[in-house]
């Protein structure tokens, strides 16, 4: 597989890990992800990954039911660690080295994250899975992904979702929604599109980190995006 990128930050949705289940982790879906990621790593791409935790717990949802917001967000951080451990196990089971880093010190579950240790791991051929969001409440895993992508000097953030790009409206709810092949950060603001939270989008804009939103649930799409095929939506300055 030929690729246009040397180093990527792959953001995965926690909800996507549910697969056909209503909760938790679907081993088949995690296995599909692992095989795609291994193929990309074997092509020479250095890969860092941030996974959400919405398949297990969302801090905002907890707060809506009376859970203290800070504690709820901390529970969400732990959910991302569980997902990261599941993905690292799936990768290692098929022969792809991986290392879990955590935004808060959780040794021996994962190594305490630092930019330089994550980059060293990637240069050694490991997939660096960075868990725990930013390590702080009130920030989403999208913001965590933007932060880590910028820190590890990724060429691009690939945001894997259940849909094949950014639309004028939610395509799952509005059949008239049309897809963008390319869109600017500013247009996301002005249209009020729910691509990522504003903090994450602003960080990517200010640090000139391009984003590609694509459907990760279709097997083979990660390789297609890395090869430069236009199957998602590119977010970049215009």
Q: Is residue 101 part of a domain?
A: yes
Counting the structural domains of the chain, the total is: 1
Token pair belonging to 52: 């959400």
- Please give the pLDDT value at position 108: 94
Q: Is residue 31 part of a domain?
A: yes
CA gap 84, 115 in Å, rounded: 17
- Please give the pLDDT value at position 174: 87
Helix (H) or strand (E) holding 74: helix 69-93
- Please give the pLDDT value at position 52: 95
* Domain, as residue range, for 137: 7-235
What pLDDT tens digit does each residue of the chain (238 aa) get?
556 799 999 999 999 999 888 889 999 999 999 999 999 999 999 999 999 999 998 766 766 778 899 999 999 999 999 999 999 999 999 999 999 999 999 999 999 999 999 999 999 999 999 999 999 999 999 999 999 999 999 999 999 988 899 999 888 788 889 999 999 999 998 888 888 888 999 999 999 999 999 999 999 999 999 999 989 999 987 6
CA gap 182, 198 in Å, rounded: 18
- Please give the pLDDT value at position 53: 94
In this structure, what CATH number is given to the domain that contains residue 224?
3.40.1160.10
Q: Is residue 88 part of a domain?
A: yes
Token pair belonging to 185: 């950060």
Q: Is residue 35 part of a domain?
A: yes
DSSP letter assigned to residue 126 = -
Give ∠ CA 229-233-237 in degrees, rounded to 5: 110
Q: Is residue 1 part of a domain?
A: no
Q: Is residue 86 part of a domain?
A: yes
Instruction: Give SS3 for 212.
Output: strand
Q: Is residue 67 part of a domain?
A: yes
Which of 34, 43, 13, 3 lies closest to 155, judged by CA?
3
Q: Is residue 2 part of a domain?
A: no
pTM (predicted TM-score)? 0.94
């Amino acid at each position: 597989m030929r690729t246009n990128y040397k180093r990527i930050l792959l953001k995965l949705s926690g909800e996507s890990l549910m697969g056909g289940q209503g909760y938790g982790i679907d081993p088949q879906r995690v296995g599909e992800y692992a095989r795609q990621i291994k193929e990309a790593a074997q092509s020479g791409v250095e890969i860092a990954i941030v996974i959400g935790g919405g398949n297990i717990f969302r801090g905002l949802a907890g707060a809506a039911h009376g859970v203290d917001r800070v504690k709820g967000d901390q529970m969400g951080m732990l959910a991302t660690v569980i997902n990261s451990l599941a993905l690292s196990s799936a990768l290692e089971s098929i022969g792809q080295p991986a290392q879990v880093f955590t935004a808060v010190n959780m040794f021996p579950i994962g190594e305490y994250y630092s930019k330089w240790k994550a980059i060293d791991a990637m240069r050694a051929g490991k997939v660096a899975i960075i868990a725990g969001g930013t390590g702080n409440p009130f920030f989403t895993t999208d913001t965590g992904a933007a932060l880590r992508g910028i820190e590890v000097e990724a060429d691009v953030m690939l945001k894997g979702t259940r849909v094949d790009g950014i639309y004028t409206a939610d395509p799952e709810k509005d059949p008239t929604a049309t897809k963008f092949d390319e869109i600017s950060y500013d247009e996301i603001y002005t249209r009020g599109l729910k691509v990522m939270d504003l903090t994450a989008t602003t960080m990517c804009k200010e640090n000139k980190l391009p984003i590609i939103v694509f459907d990760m649930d279709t097997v083979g799409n990660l390789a297609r995006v890395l090869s430069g095929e236009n199957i998602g939506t590119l977010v970049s300055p215009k």
